[in-house]
Structure 1
Amino acid sequence: MAALRFSEDSCLEAVVSGARLAACDGASISPHRDAISAAFDGRIDNGAELRRALNIGATEALTSADIALYAYRAWGDGFCHHIIGDYSCVIWDAALRRLVMATDPGAMRPLFYWTGSEEILFATEQRGLLADRVVPRQIDEHQLAAWLTLLPRDVDRSFFAGIHRVPPGHVVVWQGGSACCERWWKPETVAPLKLATDADYEAVLRDGLDQAVRCRLDGNGTVGANLSGGLDSSSVAAMAARALGEQGQRLTAFTAAPTHPAIASPGWFDDEWPYAAALAAQYPNVDHVRIANDNAPLIEAMESREAGQDWPLLNPVNAIWVNGIDRAARDRGLGVMLVAATGNYSISHHGSAAYSQQIRDHRFGAAFNTARALRRVAGRSWLGLAREAAASLLPEGAARALRQRQIGRTPVLEDYSVINRDFLSASGLEMRARTTAGELSNLTGGDSRALRILALQRNDHLGLQFGSSRRLFGLDVRDPTSDRRLVELCLAIPDERFSRDGIPRNLIRQAMKGLVPAMILNERRRGRQAADWRCSFDQALPYLKAEVARLRDSPLASRALDLDRIGKLLDAWPGTETTGNEAAVRLAYRLAVLRGIAAGRFVRRMELVGKSV
Structure 2
Amino acid sequence: MCGIAGIAQLGTGEPVERTLLERMTKRLAHRGPDDDGILLDGAVGLGHRRLSIVDLSPTGRQPMPNEDETIWVVFNGEIYNHQALRRGLEARGHRYRGRSDTETIVHLYEERGEACVDELEGEFAFALWDNRRRRTLLVRDRLGVKPLYYTLQGGSLIFASEIKAILEHPGISRKVDLEALYHYLTFFTTPAPSTLFDGIRKLPPGHLLTWDGRNHPVPRPYWRLAEAALRTTRTEPDWVEAVREQVKLAVDSRMMSDVPVGVFLSGGIDSSTALGLMARGSARPVETFSVGFKDSPAYNELDYARLAAKRFGGNYHEVLIGTEDMVDCLPSLIYHQDEPIADPVCVPLYYVARLAREHGVKVVQVGEGADELFAGYPGYLTALSLYDRAWRPFAMLPSPLRKLVYRGLAPGFRALDRIKELDHLHRAALGEELFWGNFIAFRELEKRPLLRGPLGNGALTSHDVVRAQLAELDSALPDADMLQRMIYLDLTFRLPELLLMRVDKITMSTSVEARVPFLDHRLVELTFGLPRGLRIRTGPKHLLKKAVRDLLPAAIIDRPKQGFAAPIKEWFRGPAADLVTTRLERSGLWDLDCFNVAHVRDLLRRHREGHTDLSTRLWCLLNVALWYDDWIGHNPGSRQ
TM-score range, shorter chain: 0.7 to 0.9
Counterpart residue type for residue 543 of structure 1: L
In the TM superposition, what are the counterparts of 1:164-313 in structure 2 within 5 Å? 164-175=201-212, 176-219=214-257, 222-244=260-282, 248-260=283-295, 270-284=299-313, 286-294=314-322, 296-313=324-341
> In the alignment, residue 13 of structure 2 is paired with which amino acid?
A
1:45 and 2:80 are equivalent in the alignment: yes
Aligned equivalent of 1:2: 13
Count of residues in correspondence between the two structures: 562
> CA 1:18–1:352 in structure 2 vs 1: closer, same or farther (change >3 Å)?
closer
Which of 45, 67, 71 pairs up with 1:36?
A: 71
Query: Do structure 1's residue 119 and structure 2's residue 144 form an aligned pair?
Result: no
The yes-or-no answer on 1:569 pairing with 2:603 is yes
Say if 1:553 and 1:111 are closer, same or farther in 2 by CA, change over 3 A. Answer: closer
Change over 3 Å in CA distance of 1:62–1:258 after alignment to 2: closer
Task: Name the structure 1 match of 2:535.
Answer: 498
| Residue in structure 2 matched with residue 335 of structure 1 by the alignment | 362
Which residues of structure 1 form unaligned runs of 5+?
263-268, 358-379
- 2:630 and 2:190 map into 1 onto residues whose CA distance is 21
Cα distance change on mapping 1:189 and 1:553 into 2, 3 Å: closer
Map 1:75-154; keep pairs closer than 5 Å. Answer: 75-150=112-187, 153-154=190-191
Deviation of residue 341 (structure 1)?
A: 2.0
Amino acid across the alignment from 2:629: R
Q: Does the aligned pair in 2 maintain the 1:227–1:276 contact within 8 Å?
A: yes
The alpha carbon displacement at 1:486 in A equals 1.6
Distance of aligned partners of 1:277 and 1:15 in 2 relative to their CA distance in 1, 3 Å threshold? same
- Residues 575-594 of structure 1 mapped to structure 2, 5 A cutoff: 584-585=612-613, 588-589=614-615, 591-594=616-619
Q: Could you list the runs of 5+ residues in structure 2 that have no partner in the other structure?
A: 1-11, 27-35, 52-60, 414-419, 425-442, 475-479
In structure 2, the CA distance between the partners of 1:561 and 1:480, relative to structure 1 (3 Å rule), is: farther
**CA displacement at 1:608 relative to structure 2:** 3.5
Contact 2:573 2:607 in 1 (8 A): no
Deviation at residue 195 of structure 1 after TM alignment: 5.0
Question: Match for residue 430 of structure 1?
Answer: 461
What does residue 598 of structure 1 align with? 623
TM superposition shift of 1:596: 0.6
Offset, 1:311: 1.4
Report the CA distance between 1:482 and its aligned residue: 1.8
Go from structure 1 to structure 2 and tell me whether the alpha carbon gap of 1:611 and 1:236 turns closer, same or farther (over 3 Å shift): closer
Change (3 A) 1:270 1:464: closer
Residue 420 (str. 1) matches residue 458 (str. 2): no
SS at match of 1:527: coil
Cα distance in 2, alignment partners of residues 202 and 398 from structure 1: 46
Deviation per residue, 1:269-313 (Å, 9 max, x gap): 7442222222222112x1223332427432212112222220113
* SS of residue in 1 equivalent to 2:219: strand
How far apart are the structure 2 equivalents of 1:233 and 1:192? Answer: 25
- Give the aligned partner of residue 7 of structure 2: none
Does 1:326 find its partner at 2:363? no
> 1:417 and 1:92, CA in 2 relative to 1: closer, same or farther beyond 3 A?
farther
Runs of 4+ in 1 over 6 A off after TM superposition: 350-357, 383-386, 391-402
2: CA distance, partners of 1:321 / 1:151: 17
> In 2, are the aligned partners of 1:234 and 1:279 still within 8 Å (CA)?
yes
The one of 490, 496, 502 aligned to 1:455: 490
CA contact under 8 A between 1:299 and 1:540: conserved in structure 2?
A: yes
- How far apart, in 1, do the equivalents of 2:181 and 2:288 lie? 36
Distance change >3 Å, CA 397–CA 430, structure 1 → 2: farther
1:507 is displaced (CA, Å) by 0.2
Once the two structures are superposed, the pairs formed by residues 348-427 of structure 1 within 5 Å of their partners are 348-349=375-376, 390=393, 412-413=443-444, 419-426=450-457
Q: Read off the aligned partner of 1:289 and give its amino acid letter.
A: H
User: 1-side partners of 2:247 and 2:69: how far apart?
Assistant: 39
After TM superposition, give the deviation of residue 489 of structure 1 in Å: 1.6
Residue 480 in 1 paired to residue 528 in 2? no
* Deviation, structure 1 residue 70: 1.4
Q: 1:426 to 1:129 in 2, by over 3 A?
A: farther
Asked if the contact 2:124–2:146 (Cα under 8 Å) also holds between the matched residues in 1, the reply is yes
Give the match's secondary structure for 2:345.
Answer: helix
* Deviation readout 1:116-148 (Å, 9 max, x if unpaired): 332222211111111011112222121111101
Cα distance in 2 between the residues matched to 1:389 and 1:40: 47
Amino acid at match of 1:282: R
Aligned pairs for 1:507-522 (under 5 A) are: 507-522=543-558
Q: CA 1:384/1:354 → structure 2, altered by over 3 Å: closer, same or farther?
A: closer
Paired with 2:309 and 2:25, the residues of 1 have a C-alpha distance of: 42
CA distance in 2, matches of 1:192, 1:551: 49
The 1:278–1:416 alpha-carbon spacing in structure 2 relative to 1, beyond 3 Å, is farther
Pair 71,490 (structure 1): closer, same or farther in 2 beyond 3 Å: same
Contact 2:449 2:596 in 1 (8 A): yes
Which range moves more in the overlay, 562-571 or 598-607? 562-571
**Alpha-carbon deviation of 1:561?**
3.7
Change beyond 3 A, Cα 1:531–1:48: same
Task: Give the residue type in structure 1 aligned to 2:451.
Answer: N
Q: How many angstroms apart in 1 are the aligned matches of 2:625 and 2:548?
A: 43
Q: Are the equivalent residues in 2 in contact too, given 1:101–1:172 (CA < 8 A)?
A: yes
Paired with 2:190 and 2:389, the residues of 1 have a C-alpha distance of 35
Contact 2:588/2:629 (<8 A) preserved: no
Once the two structures are overlaid, the 10-residue window that deviates more, 106-115 or 527-536, is: 527-536
- For 1:340 and 1:397, how far apart are their aligned partners in 2? 46
Q: CA deviation at 1:152?
A: 7.5
> Using a 3 Å threshold, how does the CA distance of structure 1 residues 409 and 288 change in structure 2: closer, same or farther?
farther
Q: C-alpha separation between the residues in 2 aligned to 1:72 and 1:415?
A: 49
Whole-angstrom distance in 1 between the partners of 2:595 and 2:509 = 29
Structure 1: which amino acid aligns with 2:39? A
Residue of 34, 38, 42 corresponding to 1:13 = 38
Tell me how far 1:541 sits from its aligned partner. Answer: 0.9
CA distance in 2, matches of 1:202, 1:399: 43
Q: For 1:259 and 1:594, how far apart are their aligned partners in 2?
A: 20
Percent identity between the aligned chains? 20
* TM-score, with structure 1 as normaliser: 0.80
